[in-house]
Chains A and B, each alone.
Chain A
């Protein structure tokens, strides 16, 4: 979900790119990005509908979560927020209570196995305080009463370009590969107060496992294992297929 067109906005001096820092090290927009919800589609209603799966019948598959009780979900939110809310589109907000209820609904509908919830906004930890569903690990960029601060300014476009928490999280994740031995506990310690300036909030009471034992690939950069077999057992296929081929 991207509400703004930072990459292709005419005011972007480097079209179709979004960089992590002013030195343009990492193009986070990439060459093969896909965006499912963009522009005016990014609303609180659509977000909650996406989570809970209560979508209109004509919604295409790419705009559905399509998860079940075996799915691990990563939710990352960033934007302007305050105590108990996060702004959407400069015109509406999602509150922590709404989010907590949506996650509970997901749990009851067996739409997830585990959720890792990340949020980067001012007073971010207020957003996960109302959660009451099991198997949620939550991380916030700042505690209640604190601001989340940005990292540095890009003089070419004259604005602050990345938040401190996101900057260090990205730096950490760039080194995560399929065979990484890192755990979620490593990730939770990604932005200590001396670099983040704000205090990272962590909530583990709903989470059943010990973050020290959860591999980071449970939530990041994982690809489902594909089994290659050299032999195909033809009787595994449905009969009608065979019949059609014989004809």
Chain B
């Protein structure tokens, strides 16, 4: 995609159009909901709120000061940080490709953010720091923890999805990608997200987004995607596209429908009373293909239209509901009734899916293993992107890609070693996965100690490792739902056959239990050391400071005996003994040199 219109011409025209543009907004808003009962007994719901704003040729940059449907806070944010394209997702749970197929938008667990900044952006690192801080305030998430030390610039996987001028060279310094796999996603993220919609949650499909119902799911993901698009095929007209998405996977058993008869009211608590008056499109699509392949169910009310979609050799049946028409008469609600008790069948597995885990034991060495399953009859070329935090030092030479007994040589290998507290380990490998095989990517790492202050308060919980991204072009559209890159809306995603179907699978995030020091250790050490010192010091000091000597007890004279007798009477009985002994000692010392008749062992102070 490109626009071949010279910029300098546009700038001149802009002066004339600047004032009038605020009045005549060429923008549109579309609200869509796609629902698909999954073979595993779950229901996948995907909300997409799209704002398309055709930007006048008169603009060098987008002007967000005069926004109409486009949310102004986001516009100002995009403007001030020179953002060309941005993708944010806040996700709880893992998308299970093997049983659920491919979602419309992929998202890794926790927070994921990737941004393409404009080519002429200066001071990019500072911009990125301010950007994530600003975004953390906008979305109530701790995105400000996306620092330089966990930010990557992938060279192959995350290419821009929107329109880019052919004159603009894609410079890798302009991409920033970071994940926070531990980020919590809750009501506080949904609240500011909903505020960006033109109808808030007052009217339209967004009234279904009650925090209690959307968090009571197996998987929920909030997304914001912003990019430049071509309005027409020839790309003579340009536009901005903002997609706000919510992906949910409801477990019908948790919802409380044991007979698998689901309805919008059961899943979301209420129906849709009215469509958003700002919306040009307000539609609900229900994938009823499984009605033919799986257990038969009836869907009520009667759809406005039933679409048949053929793409990549796959046939899909879609029931379409036009909310604008339906809500004129009644509150909209879709419900299904299964004719027979439902049997969960085995899912037709998608062509490509992955599984990732940690290997090794002990607290010295470990490994990360990613298994890539290719179920197709032809080999597939894939790109594997690994984002490993600096505190999990990997060994590049241990990277092994095997399929059965066969070692696979990568087509491209890109690697930038991490640096403690500065940057993460970046590894991007392109290779071919053989047909009908399981390919294993294996790399080893060391467990390391952090500095005392770097451990989080709950260090024993473990440290998170974000998901790897596996990019591939699938030859068929089996289990595929995504919207083509050239289109914006769900309604345009049917009957579009392509050469390949792009997937970017996110693997599971991992927890690594780094060796955690016992934080009560300093206290224990002090106590133990003091005890040992105290016990050792006494005898050692005695040995070191006193010596054994031979003394001679002299026989007393008569006068001395008489004096002693007097002192015995005068002294108290209890004290008498010790005093006597003391006297005796003195005498013994005194008499040491005089007489040698009786000998006694006696400790005396060493006279230095």
Contacts and interface: CB of A to CB of B under 8 A. Distances in A.
Interface of A: 5, 7-8, 14-17, 29-36, 38-41, 56, 58-63, 89-92, 244-245, 247
A200 B379 CA distance: 73
A38 B191 contact: no
B54 to A, nearest CB: 22
B211 interface: yes
Interface in B170-225: 182-188, 191-192, 210-212, 214-216
B137 A40 contact: no
A38 B140 contact: yes
- Majority secondary structure of chain B interface residues (helix, strand, loop or mixed): helix
B145 A40 contact: yes
Nearest to A14: B212
Contacts of B129: 58
Nearest to B16: A247
Contacts of A40: 142, 145, 456-457
Most chain B C-beta atoms within 10 Å of own C-beta, residue among A16, A35, A62:
A16
A34 B188 CA distance: 4
Contacts of B192: 34
Contact of A8 (B182, B186, B191, B457): B186
A164 B165 CA distance: 63
B557 interface: no
A5 B192 CA distance: 18
A47 B211 CA distance: 28
Nearest to A35: B188
B463 to A, nearest CB: 12
B140 A31 contact: no
24 contacts: A7-B215, A8-B187, A14-B212, A16-B211, A16-B214, A16-B216, A31-B211, A33-B187, A33-B191, A34-B188, A34-B192, A39-B184, A40-B145, A40-B456, A40-B457, A41-B144, A41-B145, A56-B133, A58-B130, A60-B136, A60-B138, A61-B137, A89-B457, A247-B19
B19 A244 contact: yes
Given A33-B191, A41-B144, 16 more contacts: A8-B215, A14-B212, A15-B212, A15-B216, A16-B211, A16-B216, A17-B212, A30-B187, A34-B140, A40-B142, A40-B457, A56-B133, A58-B133, A59-B133, A60-B137, A90-B458
Contacts of B592: none
A8 B19 contact: no
B142 A39 contact: yes
B486 interface: no
A7 B572 CA distance: 77
A60 B129 CA distance: 12
B458 A60 contact: no
B187 A38 contact: no
A15 B215 contact: yes
B134 interface: yes
B92 interface: yes
Nearest to A9: B184
Contact of A38 (B133, B188, B212, B215): B188
A29 B145 contact: no
B457 A91 contact: yes
A62 B188 CA distance: 13
A92 B453 CA distance: 11
Closest 10 pairs (CB-CB, A-B): A60-B137, A8-B186, A16-B215, A91-B457, A35-B188, A15-B215, A89-B457, A62-B137, A58-B133, A5-B184
Given A40-B456, A41-B142, A33 B137 contact: no
Contacts of A244: 19
Contacts of B184: 5, 8, 38-39
A246 to B, nearest CB: 9
B508 to A, nearest CB: 15
Contacts of A245: 19
Nearest to B210: A31
Contacts of B185: 8
Contacts of B457: 40, 89-92
Contacts of B19: 244-245, 247
A149 B231 CA distance: 63
Contact of A7 (B136, B186, B191, B210): B186
B141 to A, nearest CB: 8
Contacts of A31: 187, 191, 210-212
Nearest to A41: B142
A90 B183 CA distance: 19
A65 to B, nearest CB: 13
Most chain A C-beta atoms within 10 Å of own C-beta, residue among B183, B187, B456:
B187
Contact of B186 (A16, A90, A92, A247): A16
Most chain A C-beta atoms within 10 Å of own C-beta, residue among B133, B144, B182, B188:
B188
Nearest to B186: A8
A138 B184 CA distance: 33
B140 A36 contact: yes
A89 to B, nearest CB: 4
Interface in B136-183: 136-138, 140, 142, 144-145, 182-183
Interface string B80-102: 00000000000010000000000
Contacts of A59: 133, 137
Contact of A29 (B134, B138, B187): B187
Nearest to A36: B140
A41 B129 CA distance: 16
A63 B137 contact: yes
Nearest to A91: B457
Contacts of A89: 457
Most chain B C-beta atoms within 10 Å of own C-beta, residue among A14, A40, A60, A245:
A60
Contacts of B140: 34-36, 38, 62
Interface in B529-587: none
Contacts of B458: 90
Nearest to A37: B142
A39 B191 CA distance: 18
B217 to A, nearest CB: 8
Nearest to A244: B19
A61 B133 CA distance: 10
A14 to B, nearest CB: 8
Most chain B C-beta atoms within 10 Å of own C-beta, residue among A14, A36, A62, A92:
A62
